[in-house]
Structure 1
Amino acid sequence: MTTPNDVARHTSGPDPDAVRSQVQALLGQLGPPAGPEGQSELDLETQAQVLEQAHDVLVRALESAENG
């Protein structure tokens, strides 16, 4: 069943659940934070790239919502 909120959400910008899923999928690539040894499984450059991708998803969603 489609509610008025569903219609408003689709006409006013990106689906928040889809954006959330994309960001969670990207952040899930990071794995757990570095342990006491100071090393995580991903190097800092790879972590920065993943965070930049998540940031880009959020920026595009915000721009789309503003243009609505």
Structure 2
Amino acid sequence: MSTDPDEIRARVAELLADLPDLDAELLADTDVEELARRLEQAHEMLVAALESVEKG
């Protein structure tokens, strides 16, 4: 896992790029499971980056 902040930001932005706004109207048509999966991926990536910094 890279510890370069710009690379981490880019990878998280890529994961979250096409998620809907938190507008109730838009969320009604959103696959909540997919939304949760992508948010979990971003979370795991950030946790791994923090762990890498702590070890490095």
Q: Same fold (TM over 0.5)?
A: yes
Is structure 2 residue 31 aligned with structure 1 residue 33? Answer: no
How many residue pairs match? The answer is: 55
Is structure 2 residue 5 aligned with structure 1 residue 16? Answer: yes
Match of 1:59 in 2: 47
Partners of 1:29 and 1:45 in 2: CA distance: 15
Equivalent pairs: percent with the same residue? Answer: 44
* Structure 1: 5+ residue stretches without partners: 1-12
The structure showing larger relative contact order (alpha-carbon pairs under 8 Å, at least 6 residues apart) is 2
CA RMSD of aligned residues (A): 1.9
Displacement over 6 Å in runs of 4+: none
* Structure 2: 5+ residue stretches without partners: none
**Who wins on radius of gyration, i.e. which is larger?**
1
Q: What does the per-residue CA deviation read over 1:8-32, in whole Å, with 9 as the maximum and x for residues that have no partner?
A: xxxxx61000000010000113133
